[in-house]
Amino acid sequence: MDFARKAEKRFNLELRDYDAIHKWSTDSPKEFWTHAWDYLGVIGSKGSQVLTYGESFQDSVFFSDSSINVAENLLRRNDQNQAIIWFSETGDSLDLTWAELHDQVSLIQQGLLEMGVTQGDCVAAWLPNRPETIAIMIAAASIGAIFTSASPDFGAKGLLDRFTQVKPKVLFVTDRYSYGGKWFSCINRLEDVELGLPSLLRTIVVPYQNEGFQPIGDSRIIWNDFLSAHSPKPVEFFPQEFNHPWYILYSSGTTGKPKCIVHRSGGVLIKHLVEHGLQCDIKPGDRVFYYTTAGWMMWNWLASALASQATVVLYDGSPFYPTPNSLFDLADHTSITLLGVSAKYIDSCAKAEISPIETHNLTSLRTICSTGSTLAIEGFEYVYTHIKNDVHLQSMSGGTDLCGCLVAGDPTSPVHRGEIQKPALGVGIEILNETGDSLRHGQQGELVSATPFPSMPIAFLNDETGEKYRSAYFEKYEGKWHQGDFAEWTQTNGVIIHGRSDTTLNPGGVRIGTAEIYSVVDALKEVHESVVINQEWNGDNRIVLFVTTSDTNELNAELKEKIKKALRDQASPRHVPAIIISVPDLPRTRSGKLSELAVKAVVEGTTVRNTEALANPEALDYFKDLEELQ
């Protein structure tokens, strides 16, 4: 790894392998992040204060006397090569060269400044995953405005739960969007949204297709009119502090109004540059794709690939429309080098019995990334058997909380099925028991970071004392970042994530991660999906499993016994659920994660707050008053 060779020469080190580099990155964070800044080419004034430790973990700050502009880092090229390639399930497509992206950002920047948008103001997007969304984000960042976004499938209430907290001055919205071959309108929800946002100065409507859409109302302006009011000129990059806010992201839980997480510009940028350049091996000219919406943190992660001078490939719509091979068709057509998907997508491809290794070329593809939930052993086997046998499969885990990864890939080492390869560089991962003792391989506990990292949030919005922020990450283990994941070390220094620790099962006092159940149950062809919860029962705890079945299958006594036997044989008798129940659908968040906590709340008869975080809240009705649970 060139990064290591240059670090050795500069700091008189011996970095033999990834583990040695990682140890250096956590033992000597000032040296590591200084070298990362220089090696990865961060544009800005670095200053001299690389890491300042505060009175507590959460007060530690990186590059406190530096200044950058993240937009300048994302627009470091200005030529006729492709910066963004976009395809929609409708067959629409659009390419933007770096020069065209520059011009569009210039026009948006001028329009925002003319409206009175200044540093620290909020610019909001209620848009699909399109080139315009990225251009708007970059233009906002160039001024020092804070960018926030949500996907167009949000209803008015869900959107207002988020945007009323951030008080945007400008809202960019699409008129409609397509998913699974069906069109859905946003305009019929827009008036309610605008009435709920008195902070708005203007609404800019970005039509999904340029079909002469005319906005209604004096405060609305059509996208082309907004752009045509100015002529392109060089983008002005207003210098900002390294820790100036860049994004506001939202917690996706269903236990109350979403928390507004304020992310720092330089911290997220340098964390993404390290993950992209060193862990994913992204190089200038690569073509990077992640299947995401503009409402999931992987969209922010994907957009940062521009700072590595890679071409960003976007897709909007259902990944299985018009066929299950749609994303692999896109990978061949656009010569994708990194294909990012969710673990659920890989499982769905396996159940659809597609085999891209036989039907597609995929010669350009070097890396497949998987996140969103735990990738089971069968998922690893499917990728190498049916997609590509010489690809770097990088399972990774982190979250909206840090807009990045805590554990990730190592392109220099073997991939072991069922494991995330390594702790992320610059993150001091530990796995602890309830009393804070470190655990060794084979023992399951809480995933924490014992060292600060640059992309820790600045704060939660409207949390003046910082108590909510401290409680979320630093209360359980003093002086350490607590992620809330249940994990274990492997013998190869890899990590297995067993699910969220707040949904951990506890039959007979033994903690079991939900992912252990899913890896067995969801591999059965008869089962489409499953959700498992812990239910207090007769002074103990019992495991309750809910399943949706595939195609024409039904949950009969034979299938129940097959599920129990599979869990007994492949996991342990403790993993066998006390009850298995069939339901028509399972609730999931808008980023595609199944919501175990929402199911548990309904079963226990408690209130599920923030149901607008769910893509299908009506599915909760299936869990009410079930006779089997009484």
pLDDT band at 54 (very low <50, low <70, confident <90, very high): confident
The mean pLDDT of 60-81, rounded to a whole number, is 97
Q: Is the pLDDT of residue 549 over 80?
A: yes
Say what the pLDDT of residue 500 is: 82
pLDDT at 212: 55
| Per-residue model confidence (pLDDT) at position 509 | 67
Q: Identify the pLDDT of residue 590.
A: 79
Residue 217 has pLDDT above 70, yes or no: no
Per-residue pLDDT, 255:
53
At 184 the three-state DSSP class reads: strand
The count of C-alpha atoms lying within 13 angstroms of the C-alpha of 208, restricted to the half-sphere facing its C-beta, is 24
Q: What DSSP string describes 243-268?
A: TSEEEEEE---SBSSPPEEEEEHHHH
What are phi and psi for residue 408, nearest 5 degrees? -155, -155
**What predicted TM-score, i.e. pTM, was given to this entire model?**
0.89
Name the residue among 579, 110, 158, 101 with its Cα closest to residue 303: 101
Cα dihedral: 515, 520, 521, 527 (round 10): 120
Tell me the mean pLDDT in the region 260-284. Answer: 97
Percentage, residues of the chain above pLDDT 90: 78
Count the Cβ atoms, other than its own, within 10 Å of residue 58.
Answer: 19
Q: How confident is the model at residue 214, as a pLDDT? A: 61
- pLDDT greater than 90 at residue 422: yes
Instruction: Tell me what the pLDDT averaged over the chain comes to.
Output: 93
- Mean pLDDT in residue range 431-436: 95
**Is 242 in contact with 37 (CB distance < 8 Å)?**
no
**pLDDT mean over 173-182:** 95
> What letter does residue 107 receive in the DSSP assignment?
H
What's residue 403's pLDDT? 97
249 vs 514: which has the higher pLDDT: 249
**Residues 426-442, mean pLDDT to the nearest whole number:** 95
Q: Which of 219-223, 452-456, 469-473, 571-575 has the lowest mean pLDDT?
A: 571-575
Residue tagged 């190869």 (tokens): 492
- pLDDT category, 372, cuts 50, 70, 90? confident
Assign residue 230 a region: left if phi > 0, alpha if psi is -120 to 50, beta otherwise?
Answer: beta
Pick the residue with more confidence: 225 or 217? 225
Query: What is the arithmetic mean of pLDDT over 466-477?
Result: 93
Whether 450 has a pLDDT exceeding 70, the answer reads: yes
- Is the pLDDT at 419 greater than 80, yes or no? yes
Task: List CB contacts of 126: < 8 A, sequence separation 6 or more.
Answer: 149, 150, 151, 152, 154, 159, 171, 172, 173, 174, 186, 193
In this prediction, residue 213 carries a pLDDT of 59
Assess whether the previous peptide bond of 322 is cis (omega < 30° from 0).
Answer: yes
What is the model's pLDDT at position 253? Answer: 54
Q: What pLDDT score was predicted for residue 216? A: 61
pLDDT value for 252: 63
Quick check: 240 pLDDT over 70?
Answer: yes
DSSP structure class, residue 98:
H
Question: Per-residue pLDDT for 570 more than 90?
Answer: no
- Does residue 624 or residue 337 have the better pLDDT? 337
pLDDT at 627: 82
Q: What is the pLDDT of residue 625?
A: 82
pLDDT band at 215 (very low <50, low <70, confident <90, very high): low
- The tens digit of pLDDT for each residue in 301-333 reads 999 999 999 999 999 999 999 999 999 999 999
| Domain residue ranges of the chain, discontinuous segments joined by + | 1-39, 70-489, 511-629
User: Per-residue confidence at 515, pLDDT binned at 50, 70, 90?
Assistant: confident
State the sign of the Cα–Cα–Cα–Cα dihedral 365, 293, 101, 248: negative
Q: Is 232 exposed, middle or buried (0-12, 13-18, 19+ CB in 10 A)?
A: middle
List 548's β-bridge partners, or say none: 529
| pLDDT surpasses 80 at 55 | yes
CATH number of 511-629: 3.30.300.30
d(CA 458, CA 263): 6
pLDDT value at 256 more than 80: no
Compute the Cα dihedral for 564, 567, 568, 574 and give only its sign. negative
With bands split at pLDDT 50, 70 and 90, how would you rate the model's confidence at 552?
A: confident
Is there a contact between 239 and 67 (Cβ–Cβ < 8 Å)? Answer: yes
* Radius of gyration, alpha carbons of the chain: 24
- For the cut 80, the answer to whether the pLDDT of residue 221 exceeds it is yes
pLDDT digits (tens, 9 = 90+) for 382-403: 999 999 999 999 999 999 999 9
Contact between 600 and 586 under an 8 Å Cβ cutoff? The reply is: no
For the cut 70, the answer to whether the pLDDT of residue 579 exceeds it is yes
Tens-digit pLDDT profile for residues 7-49: 999 999 999 999 999 999 999 999 999 999 999 999 999 999 9
Over residues 526-548, the pLDDT tens digits come to 999 999 998 888 777 889 999 99
Average pLDDT over residues 330-355: 95
Mean pLDDT, rounded, for 124-145: 98
CATH architecture entry for 70-489: 3-Layer(aba) Sandwich (3.40)
Euclidean distance between CA atoms 105 and 90, whole angstroms: 26
Average pLDDT over residues 593-612: 84
Check residue 186 and give its pLDDT.
Answer: 92
